[in-house]
């Protein structure tokens, strides 16, 4: 069993490049949520209200509830990341994003951007939104709430110890591609 690695915000290029596909990683610090509307907005040249350089985008539409003058996250399940494939590579390049968190992996353009620009894709557990929310220590802010709605807004979250697996590393390796190749090989053997 591999040792759990730690990743802290701000996410340096060196820290990201030290990770390998398949590593287990506990991530802590500031991350920003982003789904379809935010990715499209950024890719089309819309203003970004936060500093994403050496930061993280979490493909997540958290379930938030008012808590006094602020917010609390009740559930934070990852969103299927492949939906952001048309936008992700350009956002990584333009904004200097070092970490993308989601579920299900991404495509070749994002994998190439991770390799070329020093970024990593972390796989969060799907179907455990309430459990993942326990790793969110606080909501630090929100942008685009009125424009995009709560699910699509850009939430500023401080995480502590969110456990993930490196799905795509900064060296061009992808556990999703490995599984695909292994499955095709096994299928050929079975069909023979």
Upstream peptide bond of 10 is cis (omega within 30 degrees of 0): yes
171 is catalytic: no
| Residue labelled with tokens 């930061």 | 55
**Which helix (H) or strand (E) segment is 90 a member of?**
helix 85-95
**Active-site annotation holder among 39, 41, 59, 156:** 39
Tokens of 134: 């326990």
Q: How far is CA 86 from CA 14, 110, 177, in A?
A: 27, 9, 19
- Of the candidates 5, 3, 13, 88, the residue with the CA atom closest to the CA atom of residue 53: 13
Instruction: Say which DSSP state 48 is in.
Output: P
Q: C-alpha dihedral over 152, 142, 146, 42, to 10 degrees?
A: -60
Count Cβ atoms within 10 A of the Cβ of residue 45 and give its class: 0-12 exposed, 13-18 middle, 19 or more buried. Answer: exposed
Q: Are strands 24-33 and 99-102 parallel, antiparallel or unpaired?
A: unpaired
Active centre residues (catalytic): 39
């Amino acid at each position: 069993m591999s040792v759990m690695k730690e990743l802290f915000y701000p996410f340096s290029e060196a820290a990201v490049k030290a990770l390998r596909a398949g590593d287990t990683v506990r991530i802590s610090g500031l991350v920003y949520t982003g789904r379809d509307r935010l990715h499209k907005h950024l890719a089309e040249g819309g203003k970004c209200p936060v500093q994403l350089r050496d930061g993280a985008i979490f493909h997540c539409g958290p379930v938030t509830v008012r808590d006094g003058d602020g917010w609390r996250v009740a559930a934070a399940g990852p969103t299927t990341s492949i939906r952001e494939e048309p936008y992700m590579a350009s956002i990584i390049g333009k904004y200097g994003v070092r970490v993308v968190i989601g579920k299900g992996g991404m495509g070749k353009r994002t994998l190439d951007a991770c390799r070329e620009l020093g970024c990593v894709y972390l796989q969060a557990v799907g179907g455990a939104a309430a459990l993942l929310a326990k790793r969110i220590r606080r909501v630090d802010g929100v942008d685009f709430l009125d424009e995009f709605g709560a699910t699509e807004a850009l939430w500023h979250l401080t995480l502590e110890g969110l456990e993930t697996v490196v799905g795509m590393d900064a060296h061009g390796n992808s556990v999703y591609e490995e599984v695909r190749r292994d499955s095709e090989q096994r299928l050929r053997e079975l069909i023979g």
